[in-house]
């Protein structure tokens, strides 16, 4: 039987729903995908980009408290988050649609 996403540290019901909507149904799938691919899938599925959610996912998969991310590690994750966010929005979509997706009010794919 698959392990619920909420068994991973820092993942609550809301993030679990976002992950499921992105096609990641359980903890095993999340571990296989890794935090970067999982977060990119969440963005493509319509989740609103939010840096804290990204590093919370990273920390949780390492079994660390969400607020354990600091200093150089946090700066490196911020760079990766910015790149994932930039890569996750289709450049062929209109500027208006891109902005709506960044705000979290765009159409879900």
User: Is 32 exposed, middle or buried, given 0-12, 13-18 or 19+ CB atoms closer than 10 A?
Assistant: exposed
Look up the domain containing 80 and give its range: 5-103
CATH of the domain at 89: 1.10.150.20
Predicted TM-score (pTM) of this structure: 0.79
67 occurs within a structural domain = yes
- Within-domain flag for 109: no
pLDDT, position 72: 96
Query: 39-96, pLDDT tens digit by residue?
Result: 999 999 989 889 999 999 999 999 999 999 899 999 999 999 999 998 887 555 556 6
The pLDDT of residue 107 is 54
Residue 39 lies in a domain: yes
Q: How far apart are CA 55 and CA 50, in angstroms?
A: 9
**Is 108 within a domain?**
no
Domains contained in the chain, number? 1
pLDDT at 109: 45
Say how many C-beta atoms besides its own lie within 10 A of residue 30's C-beta.
24
């Amino acid at each position: 039987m698959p392990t619920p996403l909420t068994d991973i540290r820092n993942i609550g019901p809301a993030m679990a729903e976002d992950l499921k909507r992105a096609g990641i149904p359980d903890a095993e799938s999340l571990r296989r995908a890794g935090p970067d691919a999982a977060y990119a899938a969440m963005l493509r599925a319509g989740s609103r980009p939010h840096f804290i959610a990204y590093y919370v996912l990273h920390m949780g998969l390492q079994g660390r408290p969400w607020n354990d991310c600091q200093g150089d590690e946090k700066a490196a994750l911020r760079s990766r988050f910015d790149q994932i966010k930039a890569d996750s929005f289709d450049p062929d979509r209109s500027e208006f649609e891109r902005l709506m997706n960044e705000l979290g009010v765009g159409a879900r794919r």
